Amino acid sequence: MLSCILAAPVLAISANASAEGTDLGHGFNLSGNITVINDYRFRGYTQTNFKPAAQVGIDLTHESGFYIGNWNSNVGWTTGTSLEMDFYGGWSGEVQGIGLDVGVIQYAYPGADMEVSPNTFEIYAGVSKGPFGLKVYYTPTNWFGYADSKNAWYFDGSAGFDLGDGWSIGLHAGYQVLQNVTNADGNNVSGYFDYKAGISKDIKGWVFDLSVVGASTDDLFLSSQGHPAGRVGALFSIAKSF
């Protein structure tokens, strides 16, 4: 049985949300981001067998709200490659005080040698108001290497609170709806919850974050050491946008 996993986060930024980057003229802005983290988690599950990851992304945005981007990370679950590359594009803006974000993302694993391709395509749409956000993802392709797993859904709720002096709190809860997916014991999993809560400190543009993360069905798959990949864990990351 193919043991398949989850992939990377959407790191698309709002075209109007960041002052970082380089003004290219004609309304275009180019920005980037780097992150070092002790364990790359996606929707509650480790992608690096509980080991560190180095991640880098780049975004091209326009004052109209349109954006395209690329994000990359090392991973440890595919065969034939240890690289994940995500490509995304969409539009974000505000309508009558409500933030909107719609777009698409392609998760790619160049060189992956698996029975079912882990490459996955998602469509997303989100709304936000103040510190709260809700985003929905739909997967019309097979879901990260599982056969006959089309039509998965993911519901992502988040909240962020500025505490002042560079401190902030971030909260996340999500629910993944699955089709024809089994866990490490071969039992069908129709869905699971994941969560993350943390506190961060911005020091001269360097963001230090400490969070707790996990999933309600922690044994959807196992790490290379045989541990439930969604078990509760602590994440520590350092990130910089430029």
- Structurally, the chain folds into a number of domains equal to 1
Structural domain that includes position 188: 22-241
In a domain, 41, yes or no: yes
> What pLDDT score does 12 carry?
43
Residue ranges, the chain, pLDDT below 70 = 1-19
In a domain, 11, yes or no: no
In a domain, 15, yes or no: no
In a domain, 91, yes or no: yes
In a domain, 2, yes or no: no
Tell me the CATH number at 215: 2.40.160.40
Q: Are 160 and 170 in contact (CB under 8 A)?
A: yes
In a domain, 200, yes or no: yes
Dihedral of CA atoms 112, 113, 114, 120 in degrees, nearest 10, equals 20
In a domain, 13, yes or no: no
> What pLDDT score does 8 carry?
53
∠ CA 90-41-17, nearest 5°, is: 35
In a domain, 3, yes or no: no
> What pLDDT score does 15 carry?
34
Find all residues with CB under 8 Å of 130, minimum gap 6, and list them.
none
Give the pLDDT confidence of 1-24 residue by residue, as tens digits: 334 445 555 444 433 334 479 999
DSSP string, 225-237: TS-BTTS-EEEEE
Q: Which tokens sit at 73?
A: 């990370």
* Predicted TM-score of the model (pTM): 0.92
∠ CA 108-55-2, nearest 5°, is: 40
